[in-house]
Amino acid sequence: MKAAVLREPKTPLTIENVEVHNPGPHEVLIRTVAAGLCHSDLHFMEGLYPYPLPAVLGHESAGIVEKVGSEVRTVKPGDHVVTCLSAFCGHCEHCLTGHLSRCVSPETKREAGEAQRLTQGDKPMNQFLNLSSYAEMMLVHEHACVSIRRDMPLDRAALIGCSVITGVGAVMHTSHVRPGETVAVLGCGGIGLAAINGAAIAGAGRIIAVDVVGSKLNLAKHFGATDVVNAKDGDPVAAVMELTGGGVHHSFEAIGLKQTAEQAFKMLGRGGTANIIGMIPVGVNIELHGVEFLGEKKIQGSLMGSNRFPIDMPRLADFYMAGKLKLDDMISQRIKLEQINEGFAEMKRGELARSVIMFDS
């Protein structure tokens, strides 16, 4: 099969032939239909986060089940599925207390000494985040995918698997936004737009979008933002404080920068919670003034939207089909696998919401 391989940081991905093995007892072989380009992949491509190489990247995807292992009961051949990088074992402390996204059990991977899921000739090829979806086929643990309704378009469904569940989940699960509360979202890319959309669905009374690109702020209004702040025009913290008369209940940083993480905390009102969704580069520290904590302000991380994805993703598909989840406008362009490097170049320019690779086109 064709796959996009990262061999060295800060180099383009190369389209290569890679072999995928048959599914083991708890594995599922999926024909990839759509895969979104995510900023997280770019972090690994640029060496900001370490990963064993060579590897087939990609983790935001949807496809159709081709084969299943002998013990798989959750999906069957022909099912339309969404994948999720937060594969779970189902019986560790995190799973049994309802925190599936925190599971770190090695059981979702093949054991040492077993043949790797992906190979190239007689050499193993590293699988990325349990998925490796920049490839024509994916071989994953059964708890890394979930079946969805067949009338859900798979290019939109792919977005649910990462950016949408990360943004919507941070709002609904991590920070528990309640009707009437105020929200600020810093960064209006795919995850930020999903957080804005999730806040609207949750009934937030005021949703403030913050970005430096005017076109993204205009898009944020369509996703549910009631107010927009262009950070190029001045201090966004002061702007949010003025709009709300003292700060928001919840803020969501969806960029992954020191400055915006600190701003997310500073724009809180008393008792507010700042949620850091973006991937801040390894080694970068954020600075907060201790006196701020006297106002019972909180800052916390959010891992993949604190998801319970076997439940969440079918519900998000229902939200889309009911017209509540605005996925159509989140896709800026559809490209082929061979155009993947151009897609990431567009991402670095910061003007597009999401590019999606279509494998059947």
Positions marked catalytic: 38, 40, 43, 59, 162
Question: 29-65 burial string, b = 16+ CB within 10 Å, else e?
Answer: bbebbbbbbbbbbebbbeebeebeebbbbbbbbbbbb
Q: Are 61 and 32 in contact (CB under 8 A)?
A: yes
**Which tokens go with 119?**
């190979």
Using the 8-state DSSP alphabet, how is residue 262 labeled? H
Q: Is 1 exposed, middle or buried (0-12, 13-18, 19+ CB in 10 A)?
A: middle
Torsion of CA 127, 79, 102, 156, to 10 degrees: 90
CA proximity to 252, closest of 241, 242, 238, 267: 267
The answer to whether the peptide bond before residue 12 is cis (omega within 30 degrees of 0) is no
CA proximity to 305, closest of 129, 170, 104, 164: 170
Residue 207's φ and ψ, nearest 5 degrees, are: -125, 115
Query: What is the rounded distance in angstroms from the CA atom of residue 122 to the CA atom of residue 150?
Result: 38
